[in-house]
Structure 1
Amino acid sequence: MWTRMPDRLFFLANSFVHRTLHKLVFAAVLGICLLWGTAGALRAPAHAAAATSAAHEWPRQWDGAALRPLALGEVEARFARQFPGQIARMTDGARVFVMRHVTEPTRMLHPATDCYRALGWRIEQARLERDAQERLWRCFTARREHAVRVCERIEDAAGQSFTDTSAWYWAGVGGKSAGPWQAVTLATPLP
């Protein structure tokens, strides 16, 4: 019994460090993405600023798992002030969610693969996948010191979904998709 205890303690400590590191890396990646989107963006129109100031109610659960909010970092909060909509970070204890309530088509919303690549992550196994609820997601594995499974999708006010950010943008600009939209990116640490 005592010979197994150190292995169990090592596993628990390693698991805690892995989860904490994952959350810190995900926050850093999001911060870089937010800065990247801001770099080429013009000042948000007045109507976007007005829409951003209105409170958006975020989901309290995801697929039956309770969500709890996570604070935005300083860079994320600064980006959120210019974003046409609102941004929230949440967790269900196992995954980290970045949710964006988008009020107009914008180039400030771009693929998560771009963010991860910009930070030196290797992107693998990019493909479309359906989850247990039959929702279609664009997913990939990002690897650096450890691996993270990242999936993303965008849904419009009528329930139409997009897995490609560019297709969503042009559908919105062309009037084929009406907002507000909800963009969800979720990251799950891999063993």
Structure 2
Amino acid sequence: MNTVVPGMRMAGSGCPAIRWKAVAAVAALLLASLPTLAWYGRRLDDGSDEPLGLIALLAGLGTLGAAVRFGGRDRDQVRIAAGRMLAGAAGLAVVQAAGWPRYPLLTGLLTVAVIGFSLRMPRGKAGVMALLVLSLPLVASLDFYAGYPLRLAAAEITRWLLKLGGLPVERAGVVILEGERMVGIDPPCAGIRMLWTACFVAAVLAARLRLSAVRTLALLTMAVGCVIIGNGLRAAIVFFPESGRVAWPHWLHPGTGLLVHGGVLLAVFHLSGRLARLRRPRGSLLRRGMVVGFGLLAVVAGRTAERPGPIETQGIDEKWPAVWEGVPLVRLPLSKVEERFAAAFPGSIARFRCGDAELILRRTDRATRRMHPAADCLRAEGFTTHSEPAHRDADGRLWGTTRAGRDGRSWTVRERYVSAGGKACTDASAWFWNATLHPEAGPWTAVTMIRPAETP
């Protein structure tokens, strides 16, 4: 039987023992989550992710604290089911012992699930749980997994809007074509930060308005839809100056993004009010939709997630080139950081000196999250990074481009991901989805070229 402990309430006779069970349950959960908490701290400090999660964490804890302290007659109903939390802590400990620390984001989601399973609130819990999910370091993972699909959606909406306006455009992947004009939707234009912000605002409003779980899920889904539509609209507007049809000041490009971002947030505010005023929805239908949706997500995650186990590289050609574009390559040893990364990488890594540049080659025969952009590693090593438009070299090949800087110096980082057949992607998210949907096209080689930036 679960022991239910009122949160933050003075206990009468016999209540101290019940309160100690809650303290023990919280302590057990913290102990079981120590590897995840350590990862959380590293991700907030290593520069590979943005510390936006701290804002969501403070908002979630503040909302929960306000519900306990100022909840009026509902205050005594904010409770911790100590038995449930202890059982969840035991389950997390088993997961950690089974080697799941190699998937810290999943263990972080499991920790939030245990909190939600153990916390009893009359209303508004779903919004608090959504804020706790958003408190995890999600931006880099969202960029990797959702960046390319969001760009595809934006490109299709852009094509549709421009055709509606009478322009004879076509879409090739994430590139909009109009005759000789070609405008690509680059990774920075995926709308990841707009997506995070819209979901954060939706979660805060759901907690503030004390929406049910079904309505909270509906609001979050609508927020995602608003982001997709808004990002497509922004890309359609930006197409005109990027294609050379019109000329406008440079500041109007980010200004358009801010304007659309604000419109998306206003739409989320409006939708939250409409949901709060609705009569009781048909819960059974919505719940069935939730079950089907989460079932599909589970199937997709199960098919695309990396499986733990020994790394096999027999199918990978380990031969590295001796010359790159006519320049002899000099093999360089991996740094200690690179050696640690290579030990868990499902493939092989080599580092070379190529004239005045450094060339890094990574080769794998599977879709893997570890084939992340070089910019993630650079930020983790203290570099500042700034995405730039794709670069077309003398041979007509496209490269993803990032400007990196540290200690007053700057470097140009160019990257592309090439299949065994020679087809290439310019960013990690596009490569991941192509490798997932076409595993027969491997092995793939990520080519990263780092050279000092040209001084103006």
TM-score norm. by structure 2 comes to 0.31
Rounded to whole Å, the distance in 2 between the matches of 1:178 and 1:45 is 23
Q: May I ask how many residue pairs the two structures share in their alignment? A: 155
1:56 counterpart letter in structure 2:
E
**2:386 and 2:403 in contact (8 A); partners too:** yes
Unaligned runs of 5+ in 1: 1-31
1:108 aligns with 2:370: yes
Partner residue of 1:6?
none
Q: How has the CA–CA distance of structure 1 residues 52 and 96 changed in structure 2, closer, same or farther, with 3 Å as cutoff? A: farther
**1:160 and 1:177 in contact (8 A); partners too:** no
Bigger drift between 172-181 and 144-153 goes to: 172-181
CA RMSD of aligned residues (A): 2.8
Rounded to whole Å, the distance in 2 between the matches of 1:109 and 1:169 is 8
**2:362 and 2:445 in contact (8 A); partners too:** yes
Q: Which has the larger radius of gyration?
A: 2
Deviation at 1:39, TM superposition (A): 5.9
Rounded to whole Å, the distance in 1 between the matches of 2:412 and 2:372 is 18
**2:316 and 2:363 in contact (8 A); partners too:** no
Q: How has the CA–CA distance of structure 1 residues 120 and 63 changed in structure 2, closer, same or farther, with 3 Å as cutoff? A: same
Partner residue of 1:133?
395
Higher helix share goes to which structure? 2
Rounded to whole Å, the distance in 2 between the matches of 1:73 and 1:52 is 24
Task: Select the residue among 289, 298, 309 that pairs with 1:45.
Answer: 309
Task: Select the residue among 396, 411, 414 that pairs with 1:151.
Answer: 414
**1:129 and 1:136 in contact (8 A); partners too:** yes
Q: How has the CA–CA distance of structure 1 residues 53 and 170 changed in structure 2, closer, same or farther, with 3 Å as cutoff? A: closer
**1:141 and 1:150 in contact (8 A); partners too:** yes
1:180 aligns with 2:443: yes
Task: Select the residue among 423, 430, 434 that pairs with 1:167.
Answer: 430
Q: How has the CA–CA distance of structure 1 residues 55 and 181 changed in structure 2, closer, same or farther, with 3 Å as cutoff? A: closer
Deviation at 1:144, TM superposition (A): 2.1
Secondary structure of the residue aligned to 2:351 is strand
Runs of 4+ in 1 over 2 A off after TM superposition: 38-46, 52-55, 113-125
Deviation string, structure 1 residues 138-176 (Cα, Å, up to 9, x no partner) = 012112220011000000011110011111111111127
**1:86 and 1:101 in contact (8 A); partners too:** yes
Secondary structure of the residue aligned to 2:312 is helix
Partner residue of 2:344?
82
Deviation string, structure 1 residues 57-89 (Cα, Å, up to 9, x no partner) = 101111100001000123322321221110000
1:72 aligns with 2:334: yes
Deviation at 1:55, TM superposition (A): 6.3
Deviation at 1:53, TM superposition (A): 9.4
Q: How has the CA–CA distance of structure 1 residues 53 and 69 changed in structure 2, closer, same or farther, with 3 Å as cutoff? A: farther
Bigger drift between 60-69 and 115-124 goes to: 115-124
Q: How has the CA–CA distance of structure 1 residues 187 and 177 changed in structure 2, closer, same or farther, with 3 Å as cutoff? A: farther
1:61 aligns with 2:326: no
**1:157 and 1:180 in contact (8 A); partners too:** yes
2:342 counterpart letter in structure 1:
A
Deviation at 1:187, TM superposition (A): 0.5
Question: Where in structure 2 are the equivalents of 1:1-40 lying within 5 Å?
Answer: 40=103
Rounded to whole Å, the distance in 1 between the matches of 2:435 and 2:317 is 22
Higher strand share goes to which structure? 1
Sequence identity percentage: 38
Deviation at 1:43, TM superposition (A): 7.1
Secondary structure of the residue aligned to 1:183 is strand
Deviation at 1:133, TM superposition (A): 1.6
2:318 counterpart letter in structure 1:
H
1:143 counterpart letter in structure 2:
G
**2:316 and 2:365 in contact (8 A); partners too:** no
**1:100 and 1:183 in contact (8 A); partners too:** yes
Deviation at 1:114, TM superposition (A): 2.3
Unaligned runs of 5+ in 2: 1-45, 48-100, 105-305
